[in-house]
Amino acid sequence: MRASPSGRRVPNEILRYSFPLLGPEAGSTIVPLWGSPLGGVIGAPSVALAGPVIVAGAWLARPGSLDLASLTVSSGGGNTGSPIALQWLLATTFAPVAIGAPVPDFINPTQPTGLTSRQLDFSDVIIPDTGAGLLPALIVPANLVIVGGLWIYFGVDVFWKDSTLRDPLG
């Protein structure tokens, strides 16, 4: 919870992602599916960033912004590869565009066995007044080798624009 001039603020929404990285994703850009404890359909924790499938991965958001995020990575150990990057994408049409600053070291696949957690700030990700589809894209390096398993648990706070919450027709 963050403090604001008007007091404590509670997010209007928390986007939750939970998915494994299994290894076949190496060298690709993937979109984790949101809102499911298993990250989507079992055996399909993410979708390749290509064609109309991108619409399935987007969260349709009203105007507002993202805020703080919590990332926990569970590793079975023995994995190798370069860090996995994250870039938020905004889709107002079928061609999404990058929004906010990229996080080049979002996931460290070489972490030792166990859990690591950290907090991130995505307040630079602003959803326009028209609303949009919003999705995180993970850029997985080609040298990723998963040996002991890698599970990602990720939640991000969403604050909607006040005027859209008070609109009698919204």
Q: What is the pLDDT of residue 40?
A: 40
Asked whether the beta carbons of 31 and 96 are under 8 A apart, the reply is no
Position 1 in a domain:
no
Q: What is the pLDDT of residue 52?
A: 39
Position 169 in a domain:
no
Asked whether the beta carbons of 23 and 146 are under 8 A apart, the reply is yes
> How do the pLDDT tens digits run along the chain, 170 residues long?
454 444 457 888 888 888 888 877 788 777 776 554 444 433 445 555 544 344 456 777 889 999 999 999 999 999 999 999 999 988 877 677 889 999 999 999 999 999 999 999 999 999 998 888 888 888 888 899 999 888 999 899 999 887 766 655 54
Q: How far is CA 139 from CA 8, 10, 151, 158, in A?
A: 35, 31, 16, 23
Position 45 in a domain:
yes
Q: What is the pLDDT of residue 85?
A: 92
Position 144 in a domain:
yes
Model pTM score? 0.79
Position 76 in a domain:
yes
Position 2 in a domain:
no
Q: Which candidate, 53, 22, 50, places its Cα nearest to that of 38?
A: 22
Give how many domains the chain has, as a whole number: 1
Q: What is the pLDDT of residue 166?
A: 61
* CATH code for the domain of 116: 2.60.120
Q: What is the pLDDT of residue 28?
A: 78
Domain span holding position 102: 17-161
